[in-house]
Chain A
Amino acid sequence: MDRRTVYLDNNGTTRMADEVIAFMHSNDPLYGNASSMHSLGRQAAAGIEWARGKAADLIGADSHDIYFTSGASESNNTVLNIFRDRADDGDARNRIIVSAVEHPATIETVKYLRGRGYRIDLCPVDSIGRVKLDELERLMGDDAALVSVMTGNNESGTIQPVKEAAAIAHRHGAYFHTDATQAIGKIPVSVADIGADYLSMSAHKFYGPKGVGVLYARHGVPLSPFVHGGHQENGVRAGTYNNQAILGLGKAAELAAANLSDEHDRLWDMREALRKGIEERIPDVVVNGSNDEALCLPGTLNISFPSAEGESILLYLDLEGIEVSTGSACATGSLEPSYVLLAAGLDVELAHGSIRFSFGRYNTMDDVDYVLEKLPPIIEKVRAMSTRRI
């Protein structure tokens, strides 16, 4: 096959949908400040309210409960900050419990809070990276303020038992937040079904623009601003509206809702074709996470190649035009490989040798064939070079 660019890092970010780009450009004249009283301002405000409705529809929420942010990192920080404020105010419920495999936007933030004396617990996960509900139950108590468990994991693709986790949190009088960033557009996400009090998402993970996201906060839950300085979003999030980006998010939400079931099946078929193809062609591989369709985000395949190191694999693939990510420490500049895979009990060497392929809307079965042609000789080459060759 001729050299091509095969983008398989859709969990990292996605290419904006053509429809989203066209829609954003068609609204170029919508430059008014949506907080202004003049016509251009009101027009921009109307566009933003339209987008708010689309975002609400996507997760089965009331549009009054949708707050626009710069993305899920900010949304997660906002939620954690709300409970930091409450702890500062002397609330007896002052402990935050999050899963050990949350995105760095949550994990690093709670570690920062812990370093400043706040009470934080991490809930362990099982061998496919699913939160252990009995451990979560054990961690609960009268002092538990917030439980945060992501809907689906960015690295392993593992889908979390969020509905059950939310029920546990509520039974003990705590609030429940889910970071649904990776799940949106891939599996159905409904705040009512989950029982989520808070939910985070980012537009760029579902073919929208970067730098814009949503915080869902159910009516009546504790809410305070993380970014101060303006009356936007009912005083919850200051900052002049990024009209085009918010409209792009709205359009992407509309597309995600319309395409969800077809997209799910298409992504899962490509993921499974790649998994089976790799298992047939390459000896001794380990799939991280689950191969059960009900437990794995459809486009994610995380696989370890013993005796081969991830950064080397990634860069040899890059030279062939294939773009993936790895859990190897070498690729991140840290000394530790993926904490997500280690939390699931994976051996350090296997974590160093892990590659994540993540499919998206613009991938086809031809991409799978291309990877299956290029990957086996690369693994063979890296393994032949290895001190740990098999």
Chain B
Amino acid sequence: MADSFMAQWVYTDTVKDHFINPRNLWKEGEEFKADGVGEVGSLACGDQMRVGIKVRDGRIDDLRWLTYGCASAIASTSMMSEMAKGMTLEEAYHLTPSMITDALGGLPEHKFHCSVLGDKALRAAIDDYLERNGMPNPYKGTTAKVICECKGVTDQMIENLVKSGKVSDFEELQRETGCCTACGKCRSRILEELNECLHIYGK
């Protein structure tokens, strides 16, 4: 009788596949001389990622990663690593969490924000690569989306303020940027972005 109820795994088959067989893992002792390395995440949410890239002719030639995190964190970083390989730096820089999630066939809502950090680690690795080589970074800032239109506050500004420790709550963010002080329509989206950044970069 009980067999008539098929057990569903908590994640999609694609997630399961990447979880069981993670691609491009940075194996211990492996000779991988990264041209750039990026790390994001915090233990507050139990997810942390490190990405190393090799760059050739302006493209991601090869990539390795490590993740401390749950199954969706492992699977999404693994999926990101497959997608990013061969991309130009510009394309790689604009890889978004939803592109990764779509490729995985979806993730539960509560997993989306905390576990899909691979794209951010990848951007950090590209920043690192450009900085190491003394090259200008034409991408930084190009991924910014305006959230508070009255005051011109972007997601990138919020991310940077939280990252640098200048902002740790809504009031501080308002003082720093003036967001939500005019029409106030953006309040819920500002809060969402702030909470996500606090989650990723906060203590």
Contact = CB atoms under 8 A, between A and B. Distances in A.
Interface stretch (A237-245, A261-269, A304-312): A304-312
Given A329-B45, A329-B46, A387 B70 contact: no
B71 A312 contact: yes
B44 interface: yes
A385 B45 contact: no
Given A330-B69, A335-B199, A387 B10 contact: no
Contacts of A337: 46
B49 interface: yes
A386 B68 CA distance: 4
B70 A333 contact: no
Interface in A269-319: 307, 309-312, 315, 319
A333 B41 CA distance: 17
B19 A309 contact: no
A389 B66 contact: yes
A166 B72 CA distance: 45
Interface in A331-385: 331, 333, 335, 337, 348-349, 352, 384-385
Contact of A387 (B27, B45, B68): B68
Nearest to B111: A330
A352 B43 contact: yes
B66 A385 contact: yes
15 contacts: A309-B46, A309-B68, A309-B69, A311-B70, A312-B19, A312-B69, A315-B71, A328-B70, A329-B45, A330-B69, A384-B28, A386-B68, A387-B41, A387-B66, A389-B66
B39 interface: yes
A386 B67 contact: yes
Contacts of B70: 309-312, 328, 330-331
B48 A384 contact: no
Contacts of A116: none
Nearest to A330: B70
B74 A312 contact: yes
A388 interface: yes
Contacts of B115: 330
B114 interface: yes
Give 4 closest A-B pairs by Cβ, nearest first.
A330-B70, A311-B70, A352-B46, A333-B110
B25 interface: yes
Nearest to A331: B70
Interface string B112-143: 00110000000000000000000000000000
A363 to B, nearest CB: 19
A328 B114 CA distance: 13
Nearest to B71: A315
B110 to A, nearest CB: 4
Nearest to B113: A335
Contacts of A352: 43, 46
Interface of A: 307, 309-312, 315, 319, 328-331, 333, 335, 337, 348-349, 352, 384-389
Nearest to A337: B46
Contact of A348 (B41, B44, B74): B44
A385 B22 contact: yes
A68 to B, nearest CB: 27
B67 A387 contact: yes
Given A352-B46, A387-B49, A315 B19 contact: yes
A311 B10 CA distance: 11
B54 interface: no
Contacts of A384: 25, 27-28
Nearest to A333: B110
Contacts of A315: 10, 19, 71
A387 B74 contact: no
Contacts of B45: 329, 335
B116 to A, nearest CB: 13
B20 interface: yes
Given A330-B70, A387-B67, 14 more contacts: A330-B47, A330-B73, A330-B114, A333-B108, A335-B44, A335-B45, A348-B46, A349-B43, A385-B25, A386-B66, A386-B67, A386-B68, A387-B68, A388-B68
Given A315-B71, A330-B115, A349-B43, A387 B28 contact: no
A210 to B, nearest CB: 15
A385 B67 contact: yes
B24 to A, nearest CB: 11
Nearest to B41: A387
Contacts of B67: 385-387
A388 B46 CA distance: 11
A389 B44 contact: no
Interface in B151-181: none
Contacts of B22: 385
A309 B48 CA distance: 10
A385 B46 contact: no
Contacts of A307: 68
A126 B56 CA distance: 56
Interface string B29-56: 0000000000101011111111000000
A328 B68 contact: no
Nearest to B109: A333
Contacts of B27: 384
Contacts of A312: 19, 69-71, 74
Nearest to B19: A315
Contacts of A311: 70-71
A313 to B, nearest CB: 10
Contacts of A319: 20
